Amino acid sequence: MAERRVSIVGGSGYTGGELLRLLLFHPRVTLVQVTSERFAGKPVYRVHPNLRGVTQARFCSLAELEPCDTLFLCLPHGKSMEQMPRFQRLAGNIIDLSGDFRLATPEAYQKWYGRPHLYPELLGEFVYGIPELYRRNIQQARYVSGAGCNATAVILALYPLFQQQLVYPERTVVEVKGGSSEGGNSPSEASHHPERNGVVRSYKPTGHRHIGEIEQTLGHPVHLSATALGIVRGILATCHVFLKQPLDEKSIWRIYRNAYGSEPFIRMVKERKGIYRLPEPKLLVGSNFCDIGFERDAGGNRLVVISAMDNLMKGAAGQAVQAFNIMHRFPETLGLEFPGLHPV
């Protein structure tokens, strides 16, 4: 298979750094350019010190961007669409990791991002980038929009139940807990160490913008709250659903096994004992896995489904590379085999 020439637009952030780390070791990729307006001309390892001795690549400015096969866009929300016509001229394939093309209608974009979409006619050209749900669409796509990290964790946890209409959607309540890297690398009062360290801060009890993606994919409203934890990486989604009919544990396992049994990056956690009998984000740092488990409430029809992942990997850069592999008919796991570390 021929190698693909790829470039990263906005490579100085945390997601851009993860993409660099993955693509530099991808056997079918030639990295052409990495842009950063702030660090143009400087070696990428100045910003991503974990890449010292790995690459001598330097950041360039957007004005220097040249044609390539695939562009990965890691720009802040609202910035990708501003230059999308230019990006389309430069690359045959685009994977946008921002929220600019995740929602299917301009009305939904206006609702969740608080501004009009500049190119609403392009919304239908981007495939929503969760491979486990939209693999065939991604195979045929020119453009893919990376899914939000919290949205990915919730959708993967709930999709099998919603697809078979086994739960009351209006009663679904989800609590997502995430690490500080979800907020990016731009400092703020909330990320200041004395304010962030050790927190369990409810920062979006209602109205999180990822709700738009979740409801669009699941087809029903979902009640979601988001809490910031004093960790750097990781997402834990705790999803409370109420079953329409009695289902024993074996039946629930069968539902998830039928949905995800052949998926390379979803692991069902089924342990009876120990401190890791349910999904734990700490075990997934640096990996592209999403772990899913559940516990049934013995006293009623409540089922608690729990998913965990690394927000910078399966929630961003890793999932983008997974989509890239699918688009180009490469083995889906190529460049993504790292299993995570223990202990960390």
Structural domains in the chain plus CATH codes: 4-146+314-327 (3.40.50.720), 149-311 (3.30.360.10)
Question: Of the ranges 27-36, 110-119, 186-195, which one carries the lowest mean pLDDT score?
Answer: 186-195
Report d(CA 6, CA 149) in Å as an integer.
23
Would you call 315 exposed, middle or buried from its count of C-beta atoms within 10 A (0-12, 13-18, 19+)?
buried
Q: 138-195 pLDDT, tens per residue?
A: 999 999 999 999 999 999 999 999 999 999 999 999 999 999 999 999 889 989 999 9
10 Å CB burial of residue 204 (0-12, 13-18, 19+) is middle
- The model's pLDDT over 216-227, given as tens digits with 9 standing for 90+, comes to 999 999 999 999
Residue type, 236: L
C-alpha to C-alpha distance for 214 and 291, rounded to whole angstroms:
18
Q: Does pTM surpass 0.75?
A: yes
d(CA 150, CA 177): 9
78-103 pLDDT, tens per residue? 999 999 999 999 999 999 999 999 99
The residues with which 30 forms a beta bridge, in sequence order, are: 5
Q: Give CA–CA dist 154/141, Å, rounded.
A: 24
pLDDT at 206: 98
Return the exposure string of 111-120: e unless at least 16 CB atoms fall within 10 Å of the residue's CB, then b. ebbeeebbbe
* pLDDT tier, 1 (very low <50, low <70, confident <90, very high otherwise): low
Interacting residues of 14 by C-beta distance below 8 A, sequence separation 6+: 181, 184, 185, 312
Q: How many CB atoms lie within 10 A of CB 195?
A: 12
Decide: 153 and 235 in contact? Cβ < 8 Å: yes
Q: In whole angstroms, what is the distance from residue 176 CA to residue 171 CA?
A: 16
Give backbone dihedrals phi and psi of 69, rounded to 5 degrees, phi first: -80, -45
Active-site positions read: 149
Structure tokens at 236: 């834990």
Helix, strand, coil distribution of the chain in percent, nearest 5: 35, 25, 40
Provide Rg for the chain, Cα atoms: 20
Say if residue 76's pLDDT is above 80. Answer: yes
